[in-house]
Structure 1
Amino acid sequence: MSEHDFDVLIVGSGAAGLTAALNLADKVKVCVLAKGGLSEGSTAWAQGGIAAVLEAGDTFDAHIKDTMIAGAGLNDLRTVELVVEEAPRAIARLAALGVPFTADDHGSGGALHLTREGGHSHRRIVHVDDATGWAVQQALEKAAVAHPNITLMPDRAALDLVTGRHGERYSGEGHVWGAYALNRQTAHVELFTARATILATGGAGRAYLYSTAPRGATGDGIAMAWRAGCRISNMEFMQFHPTCLWNLEVKNFLITEAVRGEGGQLINPKTGKRFMPYYDERLELAPRDVVARAIDAEIKRFGLDYVHLDISHMPADFVKGHFPNIHEKLLGLGIDMTTQPIPVVPAQHYTCGGILVDLAGRTDLPGLYAAGECTQSGLHGANRLASNSLLECLVFGEAAAVDILARWDDLAAPPPIRAWDESRVSEADEDVVVQHNWREIRRFMWDYVGIVRTTKRLERAKHRVDMLRGEVADYYGNYRVTADLIELRNLVEVADLIVRSALHRHESRGLHYTLDHPETLPQAVDTILVP
């Protein structure tokens, strides 16, 4: 088994992981693991932008208030204040790295163009046309590649964290000393040890049939942290993006919220009528959970496959200028958004819950930090406000790095760690088991644990998770690990965490809407699962 020793190990190569790496690398040696290619995480897919108070008349207080309202009172005020107040500095750092933020044609003095998204009281979204995440990812990657103290390792699927019990003698302290990861090219497990480990592995969107998340969003970090002994919080709050392109050939193509922010209207294709006036006075700019439930209700009530998102009433040059990438992509599919409506459906989009962390990104386990979508930092509460997610990655990636460096002298070198034992397993003879169980999880999670829930459906989902858990554990124990098996094992774990959290919450709040408990309780309380 190959062994690699670094000062800090970071699992995940998106905005959170690379921000942490760049903030650490002047002082210590850092290794960044990517499950696939470096750019294959969620960051590169983010179309919208990054929220920051930059407009005259806007205030930190207004951004904080918008975030708290969207989060249905479940946010941690200290976290929200920290992230909102750090936002302008984070934007400035990205600009210094070369992110080409779209400028305001009408402004002066190099002002940035600010767009508006649902739930925001002001224009405060900085963006790079409609491909912000890709531009951010490329700038961070370029800086990381150029830094001599950063080692980037793609095609490494993390299996489990190395804790005290993996040492020569069992130690119950739960200290994390790195991770085991499958080298997908050699098909062997490698050991990565470090004084500190940061999980920046993204969300768990692929637990659902329809998701805008990339193929690798299988909740790996959340599952690994749970198995190692971390508390997990608020997993019932799964954000569904209201407008994913409905197309049988193209999966997961998101139509950014900014299309609605710039005047796009939702139309029932059967009646030809705009339907948001029947659901909310904020119309298409209501928070995402409200819009997603409205579309879901319209689809169920009228037996539709999709609804229409229409911005064709705006000037064609305006539409093409604001949404060049979406316009080009749709043209290739035979849809001209300047003259035709876009067929859309809701799809799982963001995991608001995750590994419980403090303001420095510290988890329950010594030596283990986490940042970004795999965490529950207190920023999002019961529903993420649009464009706060890339911002969270930037702020918490840096916060974790700063805390690690501040505590460096107290972080001990790893003890001797046991090698991964592959001596008692055989090659898998039936990959169909993995593929079938993967499909089954995504289907029942969509049907039973989706936008609108009932206790009966959640109990059915729990019954299926329990059955699958036994099957997957048996398979995992007997066969050599593959990337697909690692992901399936993690998907079963996060599906269980989502269902258990949803059953635990006897109210409707934010993204968790249940027909059995439609009212919102007077006090907002986090759901916390303890291993």
Structure 2
Amino acid sequence: MPESDVLVIGSGLAGLTFSIKFAERFPDKNVTIITKADESESNTKYAQGGIAVVLDELSDSFQQHINDTIKAGSGLGDPNVIETVVKEGPDRLKEIISWGAQFDETPEGDFDLGLEGGHSANRIVHHKDITGFEMESTLLSKIKSLPNLTLLSHHFAIDLITEHQVTQRIRKYEEGKKLNCYGAYVLNQKTDSIETFKAKFTVMASGGIGQVYRTTTNPLIATGDGIAMAYRAKAKLRDMEFVQFHPTALYKQGENPSFLISEAVRGFGAQLKNRSGERFMFKYDERGELASRDIVAKAIDREMKRLGDECVFLDCTHLDNDKFKEHFPNILNKCIDIGIDPFKEYIPVAPAAHYVCGGINVDLKGRTNINNLYACGECSRTGLHGANRLASNSLLEAIVYAHRCFEDITEKVDSVKINEDLPAWNADLTVPPEELVLITCSMNELKTLMSDYVGIVRSEERLKRALRRLKVMYEETNALYKQLIISTQLCELRNMIDVCYTIVKSSEKRTINVGGYYNIDLEESLQD
């Protein structure tokens, strides 16, 4: 059974940042990262915009960034968390730069700070339009120099190990004593064997949930695995109803994931228009295209439904061609590849599931309600985002909370022991699947259900229908899970159903429309 001082689940920005810090600080201890795909495949890799951080206090301030974050989140963010993340951001960015990450500069040698929706100042540090890729590549390169850090690709975490697996006295723990996390059961996809990974501490950094929707900017791996595992282990979740839809994903029917047209393009001056060429955003918000994401996404959704269209358009034809090429080479190449010249034609765009503002509830140190289980990155709910994430605050949150998890674990690492008495995975009486089509069909049905009933616009009836069908799908999938030999596809379906259930149940509890949550029945009841 593999043993580690720390087991990190996920190889995105949060997981890698934590792991590097821990491995450097404790050369005599070890950290293991597991990731279910290639080591570079994560939501971080696809982050285009950049990191929102206050660097120029002549034209910006911490308080302005704090106010923008609070406003974007409709006042539901935690003020203490917001202040902490904003003020610690510059130091965390400096660390990433010291590790080799490079960001765009002006001819004078200053950072070329970008502007995005919801921000009152230029504060987005970026590397062209592939900031996430630049950061992740830097971190993956750095871990190669750390002999006490092991990264295992194609290892799929199935379930966290707590007292649920270790003892039958579950009720005792549920009635007043906190559970403990001892590691995780992990499917080695190369050998099809299930291994017990023991650890003093487990850091969940597993990313987002976008693949539960039919259209998403998230990679295929974003199936909510970490959130689902934590949920089954009795970790507390919060704010799962706040799923952020990015307003401007490139519209190309059937493409999954959808290609993201960065917020920064609108910050650069691109305009949203309908098929008649009408610039419509100012009908919905005085900031026009620079309104926060929830407002822009809902406006586009309304415009599409009003006209019966499947997309709207992003007009870049009036922008400086040379500067556009310099700032957005990846976006330009993608458009050209599919036959669109953005300097002569409008880019078709539509909203796509992008980011979950809720997740595993953590405190300021990244701790969950389960002892020795931490969470950071998109799978966590820190309180930074409130009802809607401000653009480019996610990478900022990831590096700040990775550091905070590191600081807390540093204080405890010598006082916690590995539990040597963990049971091995029991695969008795399971058989190989004969019809994988059952899993594939259920997954497609789930995506359609969530997109139609639990998308940008919801209603009481849609939520009720979604919940009824989810219960049936849960029973069907649970029966397969007990019967069949474990596979990645089956585990992903199981996790996605759990995540969808939490989104629907959280939505049912929401009593007013706010931020990224919009229920037509609540709006009507408030108007009565």
Check whether TM > 0.5: yes
> Which secondary structure state, in structure 2, belongs to the residue aligned with residue 189 of structure 1?
strand
Residue 381 of structure 2 is aligned to residue 398 of structure 1: no
Partner of 1:365: 370
Inter-partner Cα distance in structure 1 for 2:513 and 2:23: 44
1:256 counterpart letter in structure 2: S
Partner of 1:506: 511
Residue 500 of structure 2 is aligned to residue 491 of structure 1: no
Partner of 1:25: 23
> Which secondary structure state, in structure 1, belongs to the residue aligned with residue 232 of structure 2?
helix
User: Which one of the candidate residues 339, 343, 348 is aligned to 2:353?
Assistant: 348
> Which secondary structure state, in structure 2, belongs to the residue aligned with residue 516 of structure 1?
helix
Inter-partner Cα distance in structure 2 for 1:256 and 1:341: 15
Residue 380 of structure 2 is aligned to residue 375 of structure 1: yes
2:268 counterpart letter in structure 1: E
Q: What is the Cα deviation at residue 412 of structure 1?
A: 2.2
Q: What is the Cα deviation at residue 410 of structure 1?
A: 2.6
> 1:509-520 to 2 correspondence within 5 Å?
509-518=514-523
CA offsets 1:463-509 (integer angstroms, 9 cap, x no match): 11111000010000000010011100000000000000001101100
Partner of 2:119: 120
User: Which one of the candidate residues 6, 9, 17 is aligned to 1:8?
Assistant: 6
Partner of 1:306: 311
Inter-partner Cα distance in structure 1 for 2:418 and 2:435: 41
Inter-partner Cα distance in structure 2 for 1:400 and 1:410: 16
Partner of 1:35: 36
Identity %: 44
Q: Is the 8 A contact 2:5 2:413 kept in 1?
A: no
CA offsets 1:15-50 (integer angstroms, 9 cap, x no match): 000111011113120000011011111000000000
1:266 counterpart letter in structure 2: L
1:17 counterpart letter in structure 2: G
User: Which one of the candidate residues 66, 80, 83 is aligned to 1:81?
Assistant: 83
> 1:229-268 to 2 correspondence within 5 Å?
229-248=234-253, 250-251=255-256, 252-268=258-274
Inter-partner Cα distance in structure 1 for 2:125 and 2:73: 21
Q: What is the Cα deviation at residue 249 of structure 1?
A: 6.1
Quick one: structure 1 residues 12 and 62, their matched pair in 2 at CA, closer, same or farther if it must change by over 3 Å? same
> Which secondary structure state, in structure 2, belongs to the residue aligned with residue 495 of structure 1?
helix
Inter-partner Cα distance in structure 2 for 1:443 and 1:249: 13
> Which secondary structure state, in structure 1, belongs to the residue aligned with residue 353 of structure 2?
strand
Q: What is the Cα deviation at residue 338 of structure 1?
A: 1.7
Inter-partner Cα distance in structure 2 for 1:57 and 1:103: 17
Residue 199 of structure 2 is aligned to residue 194 of structure 1: yes
Q: Is the 8 A contact 1:114 1:123 kept in 2?
A: yes
Partner of 2:390: 385
1:260 counterpart letter in structure 2: R
> Which secondary structure state, in structure 2, belongs to the residue aligned with residue 115 of structure 1?
coil
> 1:156-235 to 2 correspondence within 5 Å?
156-167=155-166, 172=173, 173-235=178-240
Inter-partner Cα distance in structure 1 for 2:403 and 2:53: 17
Residue 282 of structure 2 is aligned to residue 277 of structure 1: yes
1:391 counterpart letter in structure 2: L
Q: What is the Cα deviation at residue 295 of structure 1?
A: 0.6
Q: What is the Cα deviation at residue 520 of structure 1?
A: 11
Q: What is the Cα deviation at residue 398 of structure 1?
A: 1.1
Q: Is the 8 A contact 1:335 1:342 kept in 2?
A: yes
> Which secondary structure state, in structure 2, belongs to the residue aligned with residue 7 of structure 1?
strand
Inter-partner Cα distance in structure 1 for 2:375 and 2:155: 18
Q: What is the Cα deviation at residue 165 of structure 1?
A: 3.1
Q: What is the Cα deviation at residue 248 of structure 1?
A: 3.0
> Which secondary structure state, in structure 1, belongs to the residue aligned with residue 318 of structure 2?
coil
Partner of 2:468: 463
Q: Is the 8 A contact 1:23 1:402 kept in 2?
A: no
Q: Is the 8 A contact 1:119 1:386 kept in 2?
A: yes
> Which secondary structure state, in structure 1, belongs to the residue aligned with residue 194 of structure 2?
strand
> 1:316-327 to 2 correspondence within 5 Å?
316-327=321-332
Partner of 1:101: 103
Quick one: structure 1 residues 199 and 519, their matched pair in 2 at CA, closer, same or farther if it must change by over 3 Å? farther
Quick one: structure 1 residues 303 and 123, their matched pair in 2 at CA, closer, same or farther if it must change by over 3 Å? same
Q: Is the 8 A contact 1:54 1:88 kept in 2?
A: yes
Residue 440 of structure 2 is aligned to residue 439 of structure 1: no
> Which secondary structure state, in structure 1, belongs to the residue aligned with residue 18 of structure 2?
helix
> Which secondary structure state, in structure 2, belongs to the residue aligned with residue 8 of structure 1?
strand
Q: What is the Cα deviation at residue 167 of structure 1?
A: 2.7
Partner of 1:135: 134
> Which secondary structure state, in structure 1, belongs to the residue aligned with residue 520 of structure 2?
coil
Inter-partner Cα distance in structure 1 for 2:250 and 2:167: 52
> Which secondary structure state, in structure 2, belongs to the residue aligned with residue 201 of structure 1?
coil
- TM-score, length-normalised on structure 1? 0.95
CA RMSD of aligned residues (A): 1.3
1:332 counterpart letter in structure 2: D
Inter-partner Cα distance in structure 2 for 1:434 and 1:249: 20
1:126 counterpart letter in structure 2: V
Partner of 1:528: none
Q: What is the Cα deviation at residue 188 of structure 1?
A: 1.2
CA offsets 1:122-141 (integer angstroms, 9 cap, x no match): 00000000000000000111
Inter-partner Cα distance in structure 1 for 2:387 and 2:253: 31
Inter-partner Cα distance in structure 1 for 2:97 and 2:341: 33
